[in-house]
Structure 1
């Protein structure tokens, strides 16, 4: 209520200013305004007529609240796939979800090409453990087709009490036919950051840009620094995004202060530049690689796009999801809310990745590492009376002092990660040799 009271004088002042500036065009402006007003009321009359017809003729009684909510949902669904009406229950769940704990399957979904599509499964959730993948099409929920389903309806059907099951039918590229997957719902608790050391390289896996994800990132990075890592791999694969503010804070860790991370442009063309800020943890100088794939969306694309534009990191993997719009949550009086697209966003160099995504510097498809069988080759060490290397013991000792054992099984199962490790090692060696000259 206080916000509404504050808004009224501002609108009133604007009306007064407009009237004084265009006073000489009173007749024409009035005619145009009257025409617009008349057209608007004609359209509103269509809506009220439809409500009256339903009230009088529908086979069962329908609450006015149901009709109004349906009208609002319809309006928003006509705008774009990301604008929607949040009922009081959905709005409450949304606020809980951004804090990193909620009930459900653990997938982020969207409407893509008019088909309900999985953007990404969230790591270590029921959906992830069931083998769902980014790009999977959900064509049925509990045997009922998802044709023309809205996001809100899909979320409502997929969520439920922990311990209950839901069966979805998946169409996946490369499969001959659709298949069913039955998943048990659970409380989804998201740990935003996971970290480890691979061959003296720091590995940071960011699963979602939830509240305080940047703090978790800083804490993990400080622990890696204590282990004297020589480079960083930031893994944003299958990260569906989250809070724009957290995307800026995470970028601030890796970029100098006061650099544009992303800028938005509203319907009037007004630009708003969101810039890096001072952080307690800074890693703007350490060699770095970023991993992305088709499940990297929204805030993930903002971070990877900024690091790529400033040539701060080498981006490796597959083209990202391609969402370059900003949604604003506007609460309404009955504890519901409207989520509406209010701006487009652009990378620091002005690129729009809407519908095209972030293109990696080096494209690498996911797969496993398969080594060929070794063939016996004759080497110098196999020759009789070969010369010994007088420095070999010392060099081996020195090289083993600071090397962390690689998790070879992990790298063999993850071709993109192995490629990132190898490329980062190359960047470090090249940087050391260049600095020595």
Structure 2
């Protein structure tokens, strides 16, 4: 089995498609049941947020799994495979693990470093446990992802990444419009990044106006910062009245195009307008920068401002954490793969000892005390002989390509390990219990 991720996000799909693809709890449970009933998917969970919908699956066949998950998304969204396919991305095995760990850290979020995703991952984990999948492949993956996310936020200054972008934008705005306190700021969008922007601007003494396609969300944000909410239909008039415009909606397509900004500038020929585009994809048409009186900065420009800052160092540190954890997760999977072989070797050794002790008992008359002492001595000898090779094969298995050592051990000792981890000994039925039960006893 192998991990496969199929999804779409603010980076690849339009807001309308993301809205149609959104899963509530009931829909997520339904699609998971459908997928796990297929022959290619063993486990699955859905991660559905305001800017991404992703299905994580433990699959036996890559192409079959992609087809099953793609069909499920097409049915959910109501689009054909040809149309939806261009907006989907697929990650497999280690690439899928890396993607989830980046998501857990907030590196793949619209507002870089946001921590809300941690709660959503916990919800996915609860869903797995409610379906009786605790201890499975995806359970271990989610547990690790949560740990990675916590490491990123506790060991680095990632939480400050979004705030630093806003600070950098304000630093760029001051030379254009002058002292910011008392100025009028228009915030386009009402998501996590917009909330951060609005809060920072309000604290700096600006009059904040919030425009959003959903009036209720705009009103909630505006009320929280002592500002005012407006409809997107009023965008042209609000741009004309503002000194500073910050847009971060995450919509596909330009929210502020050249026509809107050019028209707004006609009402303010003597006042420069500063615009900061913090969205990905861009909210503001880059050609706006060519308009007289308009000063536009985007994430790329602000990124250059922060290139040598502590935030950039934090982002590099988080990427390092992700790389380390991906390698550690892969090593743990390889170690888990070798565990059934180690269990089989020890089971075979016990089988041989018990057979020989029965043979000895049939040929030599030993009292109970002597027989027990001989039995313990033989078992200690076998345990000591097996200790080094079993510990070493687990260590070797954690390195890339290490599964070959387990295969060599199986060949050398003629071990038979079934796909379920059951151990078969000559003349015996498979041993009872799970491999997981025995792993804890392996040195």
Give 1 or 2 for the bigger CA radius of gyration.
Answer: 2
Higher strand share: 1
Report the TM-score, using the length of structure 1 for normalisation: 0.26
Report the TM-score, using the length of structure 2 for normalisation: 0.26
